[in-house]
Amino acid sequence: MMRSHRLASLLMAAAILHAQESPGPVIRAETRTVLVDAVVLDKKGKFVTDLAQKDFRIREDGKEQKLTGFSLESSGVSPERPTRHYIAMFFDTSTAGQTSQMTVRQEGIRFVEGFATPDRYMAVINYNFDGGVHIAQNFTTDADLLKKALSMVQASANSTPTSASATPTARGSRGGGAATAANPTVDAFAYRNMLQSLRSVIASLANIRGRKALVFFSGGMAVGGDLLSDIAATVDAANRANVAIYTIGAGPGAAGNSAGAAPASTSRAARGVQMPALGVDTMDAQSTTSVLSEGSGGIAFLTTNDLAASLGKVAQEQDRYYLLSYTPTIDSPEDSCHELKVKVDRSDLEVRARKSYCTSKPADLLSGKPAGTALEARAASAAPGNIAAKMQLPWFYTAPNVARVNVAMEIFPSSMKFQKEKGGKLHGEFDLQGVAYKADGTAAARVGDVVKFDFDTQQQVDAFLQMPYHYENQFEVAPGQYTFRMAFTSGSADAQGFGKVEMPLNVAPWNGETLAISGLALSRDAHPAADLAAGLDASLLEGQRPLAAKGTEVTPTGDSRFHAGETAYYYFEACEPLLTAVKPDAPLPLIGIRVRVLDRATGQRKSDTGARAASNFERAGNATVPVISTLPIANLPPGAYKLEVSVMREAGDPVTSTVDFDIN
């Protein structure tokens, strides 16, 4: 596909400006193999399936790469090679009226009726300005559940605020070019909030292997000024997560347009596509959504009366594409992003593929480096540090006899040192090195990180130093009994600015053939989850995963001390034998949960729920049952306690997990 110079400039700027803020790795750095999905169409829009490896060319950062892998991926499910395709439908109901939303709902239901298959997983997400993002239906192959979710999509009671003034300034907008009643410029705060929600959904897709499609339904709004960088950030996030965005609904007469199902014009989408620094400060509604699709390898469609046919094309593109792979000729730094260009040696064909990829941040960023070695030595010494910290180590199975450990810390940085750098920024950083030691003193697993902070004023630094800093990381380890030590420094060469914390880590064995329970995570924060991967089996996922259940996500706390009357939560995962997840639509056997709070010193029982059914948390086709519930501390006096959670079935012994906590 031909790309305009302006579009290329925007995408390059996005890669530079947002390489560090975009979430989630998408390329495994250890293998150095880059995977690229490419859809190839002829002039009539038909899929081309007779190409060979020699017909493709890939350039990374302008340098041609040698292909090492090639295949034509087609739909179908077989025991030898099961295939799953993922389509998420995101409805921005804040920019469209009731009439157009009714049409889109009806067409969406028609699409599900015509294209739902056992290997095609779909999800429905609703966004409005008042309520934010809501996952109406997580990934499922159940057509009835999808149609029910689509029928409930509602336009926002209050559409996104807009301005028809010549210089829109509402809610912090710094101006975005001329606006008219026919082409309003969106209120900066409202549209940025929507794009942030869209990026959070894209981030949740990053952990699902392979190419994903996100269909973005929007009434379309013109944007300008600093919002252009948010558009660029969204394109960058999609490329990182290997998500192709298909936009539907932008353009003149979008609500109820019945002029045909043709994609939006590429030339029109290219108009005004520039970062403000490049001299262009506004984009019209159609250009805004077209940039999202073109930049991520998707298509921009106008809303039509035959929208189901357009959505069908999205589904078909997920079913037929070329999978290309290569090993970069230059060893690039970890967590770096690179521009991609895919071409075929035939001028009559159109190629769609993502425009960039990013290497992953390694689990042990300080491995083999002097800073990491020095931190390990200091952690093993008797010398205390003077930066205090609290830590918890909840763990969760990712496969039989493999556990993911969530390192959750609250660091109290009051003695952290900041240095003034060129440009006036005040810079500080934490170097962190954690090691899980076996009983014989050898290392079973390591995790290392560098966290950087930059502030504009001393007042901002002072505010940062007064509050605990929450830190999280994850690493994998085999079952066993370990001692985990985390050492960290603020970069100071002397003893000032050093801290360490140590605690036991006991991971129970699990062979995948029995009922099991994970560790327990404690939390002070529960919020709506924008996690589309939460309903999928762990074997389909990669990278870091949130703690989410039933549309709610918790942030694990490193400090297990709570105040009397404080609202707190706990999270765990029950694991059924993996055979129960072979059939996607098979219900899981019913399990029960019993929760007790015990006095830690005497063992006296303080509360006991008795056995309760867990059917509300079970998910068909998934052997992992995640559970979030409120920690029962409302009536507890100050003291030291133990939370005990047991999981059981009608037959067989229960399995139990515990965690200590305190009430101040």
More confident residue, 411 or 37: 411
pLDDT band, residue 290 (cuts 50/70/90): confident
Contact 35, 323 (CB under 8 A): yes
Cα three-residue angle 67-87-316, rounded to 5 degrees: 65
pLDDT band, residue 369 (cuts 50/70/90): low
**pLDDT above 90 covers what percent of the chain?**
28
513-664: same fold as 362-509?
A: yes
3-class DSSP state of 322: strand
User: What is the distance in angstroms between the CA of the first residue and the CA of the last residue of the chain?
Assistant: 63
Instruction: List, in order, residues 6 or more apart from 415 with CB less than 8 Å away.
Output: 386, 387, 490, 496, 497
3-class DSSP state of 238: helix
Cα(25)–Cα(16) distance, rounded to whole angstroms? 16
Cα(409)–Cα(499) distance, rounded to whole angstroms? 12
* Predicted local distance difference test score (pLDDT) of residue 211: 75
- Compute the average pLDDT of residues 109-128: 86
Question: What Cα–Cα distance (Å) separates residue 326 from each residue in 48, 68, 323, 400, 435?
Answer: 22, 5, 10, 31, 34
Residue type, 296: S
CA atoms within a 13 Å half-sphere pointing along the CA-CB vector of 41 = 17
CA 263 to chain centre: 28
* DSSP secondary structure string for all residues of 437-490: E-TTS-EEEEEEEEEEEEESSHHHHHHHHTSPEEEEEEEEE-SEEEEEEEEEE-
Cα(389)–Cα(558) distance, rounded to whole angstroms? 8
Residue type, 113: E
Cα(481)–Cα(442) distance, rounded to whole angstroms? 12
Cα(273)–Cα(282) distance, rounded to whole angstroms? 8
For the CA atoms of 6, 12, 13, 16, what is the dihedral angle to 10 degrees?
180
Hey, which bits of 249-355 come out as E strands? 282-283, 300-301, 321-326, 337-344, 350-352
Cα(13)–Cα(229) distance, rounded to whole angstroms? 9
| CATH class of the domain defined by 5-358 | alpha beta
Question: What is the token pair recorded at 222?
Answer: 């013109």
Cα(11)–Cα(635) distance, rounded to whole angstroms? 55
**pLDDT above 70 covers what percent of the chain?**
71
3-class DSSP state of 65: strand
Question: What Cα–Cα distance (Å) separates residue 402 from each residue in 71, 486, 552?
Answer: 31, 21, 25
Question: What Cα–Cα distance (Å) separates residue 5 from each residue in 218, 295, 339?
Answer: 26, 12, 14
Range name among 171-175, 492-496, 500-504, 521-525 with the lowest pLDDT average: 171-175
At residue 409, does pLDDT exceed 50? yes
3-class DSSP state of 507: strand
3-class DSSP state of 539: helix
Mean pLDDT of the chain: 76
CATH number, domain 362-509, options 2.40.50.140, 3.20.20.140, 3.60.20.10, 2.60.40.10 = 2.60.40.10
Range name among 255-264, 335-344, 456-465, 595-604 with the lowest pLDDT average: 255-264
Nearest CA among 185, 405, 216, 430 for reference residue 303 = 216
Q: Which residues pair with 41 in a beta bridge?
A: 47, 350
DSSP 8-state code for residue 371: H
pLDDT band, residue 296 (cuts 50/70/90): confident
Cα(111)–Cα(493) distance, rounded to whole angstroms? 62
572-594 pLDDT, tens per residue? 999 888 654 444 444 455 678 99
Q: Would you kindly state where each structural domain of the chain is located, as residue ranges?
A: 5-358, 362-509, 513-664
At residue 429, does pLDDT exceed 50? yes
Q: Which of 75-84, 207-216, 569-578, 600-609 has the highest mean pLDDT?
A: 600-609
* Predicted local distance difference test score (pLDDT) of residue 14: 35
600-632 pLDDT, tens per residue? 999 999 999 998 888 778 766 677 889 999 999
* Predicted local distance difference test score (pLDDT) of residue 187: 58
pLDDT band, residue 496 (cuts 50/70/90): low
At residue 428, does pLDDT exceed 80? yes
Beta 395-399 vs 402-412: how paired, if at all?
A: antiparallel
pLDDT band, residue 286 (cuts 50/70/90): low
* Predicted local distance difference test score (pLDDT) of residue 205: 85
Question: What is the token pair recorded at 283?
Answer: 């984009």
Which architecture, in CATH terms, is 513-664? Sandwich (2.60)
Q: What is the CA radius of gyration of the chain?
A: 26
Cα(45)–Cα(43) distance, rounded to whole angstroms? 5
Nearest CA among 23, 432, 424 for reference residue 236 = 23
More confident residue, 617 or 426: 426
More confident residue, 356 or 391: 391
Hey, which bits of 164-320 come out as E strands? 185-186, 212-218, 223-224, 243-248, 282-283, 300-301
More confident residue, 403 or 618: 403
Burial class of 490 by CB neighbour count within 10 A (0 to 12, 13 to 18, 19+): buried
Contact 99, 82 (CB under 8 A): no
At residue 495, does pLDDT exceed 70? no
* Neighbouring C-beta atoms of residue 78, cutoff 10 Å: 8
Question: What is the token pair recorded at 380?
Answer: 């093993």
Instruction: List, in order, residues 6 or more apart from 50 with CB less than 8 Å away.
Output: none
Burial class of 660 by CB neighbour count within 10 A (0 to 12, 13 to 18, 19+): middle
* Predicted local distance difference test score (pLDDT) of residue 439: 94
Q: Which residues pair with 420 in a beta bridge?
A: 426
Range name among 243-247, 330-334, 405-409 with the lowest pLDDT average: 330-334
3-class DSSP state of 580: helix
Contact 243, 89 (CB under 8 A): no
- Compute the average pLDDT of residues 330-340: 74
